[in-house]
A and B are shown apart, each in its own frame.
Chain A
C-alpha cells in the first residue's frame, strides 16, 4: 500500500498570503497524484490531477508540482473561500489519500 503523508497538519495564514502544502509518498507514484479541497459539510472537490493539471473551473492561483515521492500544492494568494482541508490522493498503486492539511485563518 502506498502511504501518503501530508504536512503540515494545520497551516495558519492570512488572506492574500501564499500557501504551500506538501504530500510525500512512501514509494514512487510517478506523476499519478491529485489534490482535493473539502469545506465543512461538503463533498471534496478535485483541484489538481496528474500532479500539475488543474481540473475544470479551478482558478489559476492553485498549482501543483512534483513527481516520484514529493509533491506540492501551492495557493499563490489565499482568498477567503480557500480556507478548507486539502487532501492528496494517488492512483499509481490502488487508491489512497493523505490524512489532510487544514488551512485556517490566522
Chain B
C-alpha cells in the first residue's frame, strides 16, 4: 500500500522559513516524479513544484520561484520542500503527491502551513 506522510507544517511569521518533509513507502520511490500541491483554506488546488526521479530536473509555479526549493533523498525515501520568505498567501495545506505520467495518483493527508504575525 502506498503511503505518503507529510510533516513539518506549522505557524510561521511572514518572511520566515519552514521545511516540509514527506516520508514515502509502499512503492519504489526512486522510480517516480514527486510533487507538492497546496490548497489554501476553502480554495482550490494549486500545483507548487515537482522533481524528477533522481533530482536532475525541477520545476515550480511562478509564485514560489526563488523562494521554495524542492529536493529528495532516494536513500531515505523522502521528499522535501524548503520554503523561505514566506507570505500570507502561502498559507495552505501542502500535499505530497506521487506522479505517474503527469497524473497525481497518490496523495498524502497534507500538512498545514499558516503564515501569520
| A interface residue numbers (CB < 8 A to B) | 1, 32, 34, 36, 38, 43-46, 49, 55, 87, 89, 91, 94-100
Chain B, Cβ-Cβ closest to A55:
B105
- Contact of A46 with B104 in the complex, beta carbons under 8 Å: yes
CA distance A32 to B101 in the complex (A): 10
Residue from A1, A49, A94, A96 within 8 A of B103 (CB atoms)? A49
A99 and B104 contact, Cβ closer than 8 Å, known pairs A43-B95, A43-B109, A94-B59: no
Count of residues in B whose CB is under 8 Å from the partner chain: 18
| B interface residue numbers (CB < 8 A to A) | 35, 44-47, 50, 59, 62, 95, 101-105, 107-110
- Contact of A97 with B44 in the complex, beta carbons under 8 Å: yes
- Contact of B47 with A97 in the complex, beta carbons under 8 Å: yes
CA distance A49 to B99 in the complex (A): 12
A100 and B104 contact, Cβ closer than 8 Å, known pairs A43-B109, A94-B59: no
CA distance A70 to B61 in the complex (A): 24
- Contact of A96 with B47 in the complex, beta carbons under 8 Å: yes
- Contact of B108 with A43 in the complex, beta carbons under 8 Å: yes
Chain B, Cβ-Cβ closest to A49:
B103
Residue from A43, A95, A96, A100 within 8 A of B110 (CB atoms)? A43
- Shortest C-beta distance, A34 to chain B (Å), equals 5
